[in-house]
């Protein structure tokens, strides 16, 4: 008997299972989502702690329990007890129910990086009123008179002539400003002269670079010793990676067969580039039409159609190069000095702002165009977005504000163009975030500041446009920072005076780029050409008249850039233009113009109300729960 007792003492006790980690727990006899959940266990010897989050609870509840061998027991605060066993990678048992046999439960491991919510994240986005209230812009007469006194109408044309001469390219005159200039900016008209000017400029910039900057330059603009100055050069080079003997002429028969090239025995290289660029743009705007076009080319001339297909692959790849090329000109310190400076450095210094360069997004507009897409400042986000449950807070922590705003644009609520809301004194359209994003080139509640630009826009010419749009982003950030935000009714985001904001962007970009343009004149041609072209078509264009107004204000303030920007930031929201004339320094400078009457200019407003939206998120897709229209209680707030 004693020997038997001693033998028993040598038999080891059952090993305690290791349960620490994350588990997905279900109660199979109940189909309701309320009986699925997440179990998190921490283990210290035989003691278990952690949380249990079932779908019938708003958030995880703390639990305590024990494990002995493979037998486990745990219970959440104020909840039933779970008992069972651990077997391999699974747990199972029953829920203790007084007086009867409880339901079975099972749990399987849940990887830590797997996103899982027993309760779907639920958010409410506050209603928003956006856009100018008025359809007329009132411009102060003294300001207009001061601008007219500068004789800016003639100076815009003269400035363009000087810019083109300095860059070594012919200035376009008459109707060519409207017909040829946009195509020349895309590199598909007068291509030889524009490419030669671009190469001269790139050679000059390269001469001042060394080390990593020079290596980055060469990778972008002179790989394998061959200059590539724009999208068309890069597209052809990359298409030849798949078909080394490829030439542009090989694409001509297929393009001519479908009517995208004029008839004839040969086609100019620039004409082929234009046709290819148009197909590239069509792929972006109407992929079905582009596919049908490709099928027609293949039926007409299979070999030439393959050349077009190779070139389209080159264009797709070249869009990535394009964004990198623009970032080089903005971020690389290529302007000699002690220290050397980048354009980004100059922008930040001018605005006393440390913000990084905005994201550059290549987007095929079909013409030389750039637009700013305004991100949501943290202050505004915190005011309009409410996490309705604990899961929403966790989702936001995981995905961030940018991820949430991307989901918001997928909320399926549309009202149609005829849906309006009548409130005292005005009529507003009912709109959705997705609808406004699609209708407005500037987007709506964007995840980040972005400058979207057509990749056909020759990079050296596009630099001025990008810096111009960067001014819009910086100004909008300051306008939104001054918006009063409270918890009553919809948030009111003010529309801006287009003459003030465009004028500021035109003038400020020109001032910032001046030392860079002095060294490399080609950088200043496109913006000067744009103003001359717009002025010839319509003197009241916001870019033209706004530029003239801001130049006059700068003269009145003796070139004090800080004072000009400060005053214009306050004047950006209508009827803020009156603030400019009320400034004592300005009144003194414009004393002879104070009796000139104001002028009103038609400037249609797209005033809209986005209703309050409540929705849940599952797998990054929203499910609308409620739409609630809350009207403004006191109309638009004015400073």
The predicted pLDDT at position 332 comes to 97
Q: What is the pLDDT of residues 64-106, one digit of tens each?
A: 999 998 999 999 987 889 999 998 889 999 998 887 888 999 9
The contacts found for 478-485 with CB under 8 angstroms, 24 or more apart, are: 478/569, 479/569, 479/572, 479/573, 480/377, 480/379, 480/380, 481/377, 481/379, 482/569, 482/570, 482/639, 483/380, 483/637, 484/637, 485/379, 485/380, 485/383
| pLDDT score of 638 | 36
> What residues form DSSP beta bridges with 73?
66, 83
Domains of the chain plus CATH, in order, are: 14-111 (2.40.128.20), 120-133+375-448+604-639 (no CATH), 136-175+458-603 (no CATH), 187-331 (no CATH)
pLDDT tens-digit map of 201-229? 999 999 999 999 999 999 999 999 999 99
Which residues is 82 bridged to in the sheet? Answer: 74, 95
pLDDT (0 to 100) of residue 5 = 38
Region 505-531: what's the mean pLDDT? Answer: 97
pLDDT at 438: 72
- Confidence band, pLDDT 50/70/90 cuts, at residue 33: low
Q: Is the pLDDT of residue 137 over 60?
A: yes
Q: What would the pLDDT profile of 591-639 be if each residue is shown by its tens digit?
A: 999 999 999 998 877 789 999 999 999 999 999 999 999 888 644 433 3
Give 426 or 157, the one with higher predicted confidence. 157
User: Higher-confidence residue: 631 or 362?
Assistant: 362
Q: Summarize pLDDT for 433-449 with one digit per residue, the tens.
A: 988 887 667 788 999 99
At 639 the pLDDT is 34
Q: What digits encode the pLDDT tens for the residues 235-273?
A: 999 999 999 999 999 999 999 999 999 876 555 667 899
Whether 9 has a pLDDT exceeding 70, the answer reads no
Per-residue CA distances from 489 to 355, 387, 612 (Å): 32, 18, 9
**pLDDT, the chain, mean:** 91
- How far, in Å, CA of 523 to CA of 514, rounded? 10
Q: Given the structure tokens 């039926």, which residue do they identify?
A: 299
The pLDDT of 170-188, averaged and rounded, is 94
Q: Please tell me the distance from the alpha carbon of residue 147 to that of residue 480, in angstroms, as a whole number.
A: 28
Task: Give the residue carrying structure tokens 């994201």.
Answer: 359
Question: What pLDDT is recorded for position 486?
Answer: 77
User: What are the pLDDT digits (tens) for 522-575?
Assistant: 999 999 999 999 999 998 999 999 999 999 999 999 999 999 999 999 999 988
- Separation CA 446–CA 244 (nearest Å): 42
In degrees, rounded to 5, the angle at the alpha carbon of residue 117 between the alpha carbons of residues 115 and 123 is 105
With 80 as the cut, is the pLDDT of residue 3 above it? Answer: no
- How sure is the predictor about 18, in pLDDT bands with cuts at 50, 70 and 90? confident
């Amino acid at each position: 008997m004693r020997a038997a007792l001693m033998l028993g003492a040598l038999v080891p006790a059952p090993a305690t299972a290791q349960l620490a980690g994350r588990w997905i727990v279900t109660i199979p006899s109940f189909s309701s989502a309320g009986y699925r959940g997440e179990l998190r266990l921490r283990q210290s010897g035989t003691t278990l702690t952690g949380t249990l989050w079932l779908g019938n609870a708003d958030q995880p509840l703390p639990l305590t329990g024990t494990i002995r061998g493979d037998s486990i027991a745990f219970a959440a605060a104020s909840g039933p007890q779970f008992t069972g066993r651990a077997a391999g990678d699974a747990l199972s048992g029953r829920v203790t129910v007084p007086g009867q046999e409880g339901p079975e439960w099972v749990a399987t491991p849940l990887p830590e990086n797997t996103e899982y919510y027993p309760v779907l994240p639920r958010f409410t986005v506050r209603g928003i009123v956006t856009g100018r209230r008025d359809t007329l812009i009132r411009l102060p007469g003294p300001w207009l008179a001061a601008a007219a006194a500068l004789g800016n109408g003639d100076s815009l044309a003269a400035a363009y002539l000087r810019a083109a001469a300095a860059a070594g390219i012919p200035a376009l005159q008459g109707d060519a400003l409207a017909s040829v200039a946009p195509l020349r900016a895309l590199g598909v008209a007068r291509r030889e002269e524009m490419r030669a000017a671009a190469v001269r400029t790139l050679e000059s910039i390269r001469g001042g670079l060394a080390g990593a900057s020079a290596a980055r330059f060469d990778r972008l603009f002179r790989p394998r010793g061959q200059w590539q100055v724009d999208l068309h050069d890069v597209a052809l080079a990359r298409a030849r990676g798949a078909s080394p003997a490829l030439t542009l002429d090989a694409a001509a028969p297929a393009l001519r067969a479908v009517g995208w090239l004029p008839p004839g025995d040969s086609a100019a290289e620039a004409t082929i580039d234009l046709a290819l660029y148009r197909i590239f743009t069509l792929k972006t705007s109407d992929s079905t039409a582009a596919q049908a076009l490709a099928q027609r080319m293949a039926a007409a001339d299979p070999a030439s159609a393959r050349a077009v297909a190779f070139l389209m692959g080159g264009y797709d790849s070249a869009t990535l190069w394009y964004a990198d090329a623009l970032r080089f000109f903005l971020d690389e310190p290529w302007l000699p000095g002690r220290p050397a400076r980048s354009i980004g450095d100059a922008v930040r210094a001018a605005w006393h702002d440390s913000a990084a360069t905005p994201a550059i997004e290549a987007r095929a507009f079909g013409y030389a165009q750039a637009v700013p897409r305004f991100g949501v400042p943290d202050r505004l986000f915190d005011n309009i977005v409410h996490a309705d449950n604990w899961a929403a807070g966790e989702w936001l922590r995981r995905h961030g504000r940018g991820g949430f705003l991307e989901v918001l644009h997928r909320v399926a609520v549309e009202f149609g163009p005829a849906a309006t809301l009548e409130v005292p004194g005005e009529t507003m359209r009912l709109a959705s975030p997705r609808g406004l994003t699609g209708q407005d080139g500037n987007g709506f509640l964007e995840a980040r500041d972005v400058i979207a630009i057509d990749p056909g826009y020759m990079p050296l010419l596009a630099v001025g446009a990008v810096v111009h749009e960067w001014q819009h982003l910086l100004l909008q950030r300051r306008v939104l920072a001054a918006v009063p935000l409270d918890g009553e009714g919809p948030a009111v985001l003010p529309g801006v005076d287009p003459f003030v904001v465009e004028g500021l962007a035109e003038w400020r970009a020109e001032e910032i780029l001046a030392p860079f343009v002095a060294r490399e004149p080609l950088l200043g041609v496109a913006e000067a050409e744009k103003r001359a072209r717009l002025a010839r078509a319509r003197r009241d264009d916001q870019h033209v008249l706004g530029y003239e107004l801001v130049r006059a204000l700068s003269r009145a303030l003796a070139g004090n850039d800080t004072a000009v920007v400060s005053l214009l930031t306050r004047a950006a929201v209508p009827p803020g233009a009156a603030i400019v004339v009320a400034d004592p320094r300005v009144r003194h400078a414009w004393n002879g113009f104070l009796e000139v009457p104001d002028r009103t200019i038609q400037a249609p407003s797209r005033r809209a109300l986005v209703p309050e939206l409540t929705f849940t998120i599952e797998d990054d897709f929203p499910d609308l729960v409620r739409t609630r229209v809350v009207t403004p209680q006191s109309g638009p707030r004015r400073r």
